[in-house]
Amino acid sequence: MNARPWRGFVAGYWPVLLILAGWQIWIVAGHVARIVAPSPLAVGREIAAHPALYAAAGGATLAVAAAGLIIGTALGCALAVLTWFSPLVTGMLTLPAVLIQSTPLVALMPVVARLLGYDERTVIASAVLITFFPTFTLIASGLRALPPGTADLFDVLGARKLAALRLLVLPSAVPSLLVALRISSANCILAALVAEYLMGTSGLGRLFATSESRFDTAAAWAACLVATTVSVAAYAASRRLERAARGRFPA
């Protein structure tokens, strides 16, 4: 049997394996009751026993998080471009954006739910709120971080502002957009999970809430593990996209 794939797996994921081993040892050596915390083996058996349940819940959470990521990224980019056109708009948008970001999501949820309804729209809005601010901030900064001398060259050539935006400013901001996607891709999934938990709508958040109410800790921790796995996968995918685009759009 070739041991090289296993060596590569251990070398790449040894921190995860170390955490799982420590978790299992803590449960066994400490005689921790199942109702307090399940072992990783119990969580793994729970997921293996109901794969369709966790796949469906994970897919529902991923769908609303992806919608929130797309809408939040588009909104952040659009408002950042507006601030590039007008310093007045910068002053009008920056403070409200900071206030929204500084307010805890659980405090905004009742207000958003009253406005949009107690359904998936509020969950998507929660992901939008998490995604919007880093995108807005990074894109607004990237729009002004032009290569040295390029802005003067466009001025000398008499380029219009829209032409400069299309040919120079927006391409220069692509690295900032990729960083914003990397930051927001994992956070929007966790935001959707929190909103689902508070709203009781669907997805992994609702699965966690119902499992917790039944004191089924294995199912509750399994929902959290699936959410964490999806978040890490989203971060890794956005990181790979960033690396792939780095050569074409250097920072």
Task: Report DSSP state, residue 169.
Answer: I
CATH label of the domain that carries residue 213: 1.10.3720.10
pTM: 0.83
Which pLDDT score is estimated for 173?
85
Mean pLDDT by 10 residues, the chain (251 residues): 59 76 86 84 91 93 93 92 82 80 81 86 90 88 77 69 78 88 89 87 89 90 91 89 73 53
Comparing CA positions, the residue from 164, 181, 207 lying closest to residue 59 is 207
Report if residue 235 sits inside a domain.
Answer: yes
Per-state percent for the chain, helix, strand, coil, to nearest 5: 85, 0, 15
Range of the domain at 170: 48-246
Which pLDDT score is estimated for 52?
94
Which pLDDT score is estimated for 206?
92
First to last CA, the chain: 45
Whether residue 160 contacts residue 168, with contact meaning beta carbons closer than 8 Å, is answered with no
Report if residue 10 sits inside a domain.
Answer: no
Report if residue 6 sits inside a domain.
Answer: no
Report if residue 8 sits inside a domain.
Answer: no
Report if residue 40 sits inside a domain.
Answer: no
Report if residue 38 sits inside a domain.
Answer: no
Residue 217 structure tokens: 């800790």
Whether residue 192 contacts residue 203, with contact meaning beta carbons closer than 8 Å, is answered with yes
Q: How many domains does the chain have?
A: 1
Total length of the chain: 251
Report if residue 37 sits inside a domain.
Answer: no
Give phi and psi for 103, each to the nearest 5. -85, 130
Comparing CA positions, the residue from 36, 53, 24 lying closest to residue 216 is 36
Report if residue 158 sits inside a domain.
Answer: yes
